[in-house]
Amino acid sequence: MSQPIEPYQATDSVADSATCPGGQCEFEFPAVPAGKRLRITSVSAQLGPASGSLVLEGNGVPYFVTKSHPDLDDVTAPVRLYFEAGSIPTARVFAPDTTQHTSLIVTLVGELESL
């Protein structure tokens, strides 16, 4: 018998990249519920000219996702990352240029699997 799978989608945003302390904008997503494992299958982000990449964290292994071309404003990438129950998926965007006033948005899509 297969385990039930629930769809997962979460978005976090920063209104102005120039306001991020130390040139790093942090995004925090809901904690993985008890008895579940989160499998992220896709990440998308609006980065504008403020940054060329983002890093996904929270499972013990940082995973970098970069723009496919520096002139693009967005990132969309298939990924396969797992987060165990109780862990908190996070993303960081490096935006050290405070002259860029970019709205940053990060969306994670995946599945919550019952353990």
Reported as a single tens digit per residue, the pLDDT across 25-44 is 999 999 999 999 999 999 99
Instruction: Give the amino acid at 69.
Output: H
Length of the chain: 115
Reported as a single tens digit per residue, the pLDDT across 61-76 is 999 999 988 889 999 9
Q: What is the mean pLDDT of the chain?
A: 93
Domains, the chain:
5-114 (2.60.120.1330)
pLDDT of 28 reads 97
Q: Which residues of 7-43 are buried (b: 16+ CB within 10 A; e: fewer)?
A: ebebebebeebbebeeeebebebeebeeebbbbbeeb
pTM for the complete prediction?
0.92
pLDDT of 15 reads 95
Q: Are 113 and 78 in contact (CB under 8 A)?
A: no
